[in-house]
Amino acid sequence: MTAFVVDTNVAVAANGRETHADSQCQLTCVQRLVSLVAREVIAIDDRGLILGEYKKHLNFSGGPGVGDMFFKHVFNNQYQCEHVRRVAVTPAEDDRRGFEVLPENTFDRKDRKFLAVAVVAGAVVLNATDSDWGEQEALMDELGVEVGQLCPHFLRKSRRKRRP
């Protein structure tokens, strides 16, 4: 069964708070998180790095948003392999890599944990609003990592703004 690594921006967009995602993106994220919790496997690291980032942006109570519900589900089921797959990732001494499973890269340091987990777990990364996942397409191809862009219309807008 395919596992999924969920970038924090997906849960934040689903919550509709403190985000720049539009309502279409928010609805897509809500639907995808509900589906993940109901019947799919979520991959996280065994060091608690991903849960630590979720904790900064989401509520343990499971509400009021769907992103919070997702976080509570992952936290409560982190040792239940039918719901959550914990994989070992080893930080690299070389800061240009971030993790042992990654080559030297210029990927956002905060997102390298998601990438490392995706490589180790053979998981698909879900992204909503972070343009780095699309801009680093060559690295994703090199590593064989599939990225599910939940809000591609948002990424196209972001890329247009960056062009001179």
Beta-sheet pairing, 124-127 with 84-87 = unpaired
Cβ atoms of residues 119 and 143 within 8 Å:
yes
Please give the pLDDT value at position 161.
39
All residues at 6 or more sequence positions from 22 whose CB lies less than 8 Å from its CB, including other chains: 151, 154
Given a contact cutoff of 8 angstroms between Cβ atoms, the answer to whether 63 and 14 are in contact is no
Give residue 102's domain range: 3-162
What pLDDT sits at residue 156?
Answer: 56
Count of structural domains, the chain: 1
**Residue 17 confidence (pLDDT):** 80
Predicted confidence at residue 63, as pLDDT, reads: 83
10-residue mean pLDDT series, the chain (164 residues):
96 89 95 97 98 96 92 96 97 96 97 98 97 94 97 64 35
Domain of residue 52, CATH code: 3.40.50.1010
Q: Where does residue 61 rank: exposed (0-12), middle (13-18), buried (19+ CB within 10 A)?
A: exposed
